[in-house]
């Protein structure tokens, strides 16, 4: 069988840090195992023509959200042998799930592998915005000491209202980590938690359009589906409280690109952060790179060294099951038996 893994370039770090498993050079640490089992592993970074060249012969394709190979319906049609699509990480929106289901291609991701990593990044970025860290850091680098300029936009997180949109694995971990900051937490999800769970997290349910205008801080933690594409449109962004902060570590397309730039330029939001963009890698001229008051990073939150170990182990597990004709771990499945089966995605694909 031919396994193709499309991963980010590790550069000099690939050799210096062998634990950097998520890059193409280190190929998730899979090469020895795949070849020992008598299969072929191709690891590449080119998400364009080089990947296209392998489509007619690929059996298993591994992609990663951090450097996504967008596997569209057209590409699936060019891959007649393709039977398994794997995401090295969490979030499989780079695959056309409906097209994969129609062709009975199994889609799986490594559920839970990087949820702590992302939750920590969310908390870091919320504090970065609320405490006005980036201008403060720049002041140090620039040799200044303008306390007034920094302090005029710095707040405590205590007593603020935080809204979590998507109370799944990451959303719940964000809520748990923010609880000791004595915030008030509201959440929206189409699957409501039960009362004891709400009590443990200190979170109160609220419909989305009621939650948005009340919050000082909103964290987006839902998957990208046809329903959530552009969910934070111009109207919803303007319905946020003036001076509020928005953090999106879910997927770039959940927030309307141009509307966000407009809202930030208008000074309606005090800050925007997150690590997800569309497309990725974000081109040098992507309008979010230079909008005011942002604290964004490239897509790195879910690929800490610990996360890479967990998702590399999960991919290995999936491949071993697949090579031996055994079913994949149920928790990992997004599309199986011609249907979108993951509870987080299936809602959007119900006919």
| Contact predicate 94/67, CB 8 Å | no
| Dist CA 64 CA 62 (whole Å) | 7
- 114 a catalytic residue: yes
One character per residue 243-272, x = contact with ligand NAI (rule: CB under 6 A)? ------xxx---------------------
One character per residue 85-104, x = contact with ligand NAI (rule: CB under 6 A)? ----xxx-------------
- 94 a catalytic residue: no
Which element (helix H / strand E) includes 94? none
HSE (CB half, 13 Å, CA atoms) of 57? 11
Cα Rg, the chain, nearest whole Å:
21
Closest distance to ligand NAI from the beta carbon of 243 (Å)? 25
HSE (CB half, 13 Å, CA atoms) of 150? 15
Closest distance to ligand NAI from the beta carbon of 329 (Å)? 15
Helix (H, G, I), strand (E, B) or coil at 339: strand
One character per residue 28-47, x = contact with ligand NAI (rule: CB under 6 A)? --------------------
Q: Which residues contact 46 (CB under 8 A, 6 or more apart)?
A: 6
- 26 a catalytic residue: no
Burial class (CB in 10 A: 0-12, 13-18, 19+), 220: buried
Closest CA to 186 of 170, 202, 209, 168: 202
- Residues 277-306 touching ligand NAI, rule: CB under 6 A, are 299, 301-302
One character per residue 214-233, x = contact with ligand NAI (rule: CB under 6 A)? -------xxxxx-xx-----
- 104 a catalytic residue: no
Candidate list 280, 293, 308, 310, residue with the active-site label: 280
Among 237, 276, 315, 328, binds ligand NAI (CB under 6 A): 276
Q: Is 167 in the site for ligand NAI (CB under 6 A)?
A: yes
Closest distance to ligand NAI from the beta carbon of 16 (Å)? 23
Among 189, 216, 256, 336, binds ligand NAI (CB under 6 A): 189
Which element (helix H / strand E) includes 20? none
| Contact predicate 232/187, CB 8 Å | no
Q: Report, in this order, helix, strand and coil percent for the chain, each rounded to 5.
A: 40, 20, 45
In the complex, which residue's CB is closest to ligand NAI? Answer: 168
Active site residues: 114, 251, 280, 299
Binding residues (CB under 6 A) for ligand NAI: these are 89-91, 114-115, 118, 166-171, 189-191, 221-225, 227-228, 249-251, 275-276, 299, 301-302, 344, 347
């Amino acid at each position: 069988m031919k396994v193709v893994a499309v991963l980010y370039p590790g550069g000099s770090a690939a050799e210096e840090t062998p634990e950097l498993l998520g890059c193409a050079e280190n190929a998730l640490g899979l090469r020895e195992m795949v070849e020992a089992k008598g299969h072929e592993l191709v690891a590449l970074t080119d998400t364009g023509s080089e990947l296209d060249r392998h489509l007619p012969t690929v059996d298993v394709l591994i992609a990663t959200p951090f450097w996504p190979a967008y596997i569209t319906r057209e590409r699936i049609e060019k891959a007649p042998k393709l039977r398994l699509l794997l995401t090295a990480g969490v979030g499989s929106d780079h695959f056309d799930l409906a097209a994969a289901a129609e062709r009975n291609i199994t889609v799986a991701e490594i559920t839970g592998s990087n949820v702590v990593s992302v939750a920590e990044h969310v908390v870091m970025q919320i504090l970065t915005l609320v405490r006005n860290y980036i201008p403060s850091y720049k002041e140090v680098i620039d040799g200044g000491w303008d306390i007034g300029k920094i302090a005029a936009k710095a707040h405590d997180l205590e007593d603020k209202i935080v809204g979590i949109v998507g109370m799944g694995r990451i959303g719940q971990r964000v809520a748990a980590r923010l609880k000791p900051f004595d915030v008030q937490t509201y959440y929206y999800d189409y699957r409501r938690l039960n009362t004891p769970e709400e009590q443990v997290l200190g979170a109160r349910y609220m419909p989305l359009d009621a939650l948005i205008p009340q919050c000082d801080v909103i964290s987006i933690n839902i998957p990208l589906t046809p329903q959530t594409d552009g969910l934070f449109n111009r109207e919803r962004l303007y319905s946020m409280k003036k001076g509020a902060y928005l953090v999106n570590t879910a997927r770039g397309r959940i927030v309307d690109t141009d509307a966000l730039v407009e809202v930030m330029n208008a000074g309606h939001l005090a800050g925007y952060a997150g690590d997800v963009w569309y497309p990725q890698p974000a081109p040098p001229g992507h309008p979010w790179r230079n909008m005011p008051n942002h604290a964004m990073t490239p897509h790195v939150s879910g690929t800490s060294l610990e996360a890479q170990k967990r998702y590399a182990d999960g991919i290995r597990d999936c491949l071993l099951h697949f090579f031996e004709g055994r079913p994949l771990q149920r928790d990992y499945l997004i599309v199986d038996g011609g249907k979108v089966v993951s509870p987080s995605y299936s809602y959007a694909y119900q006919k």
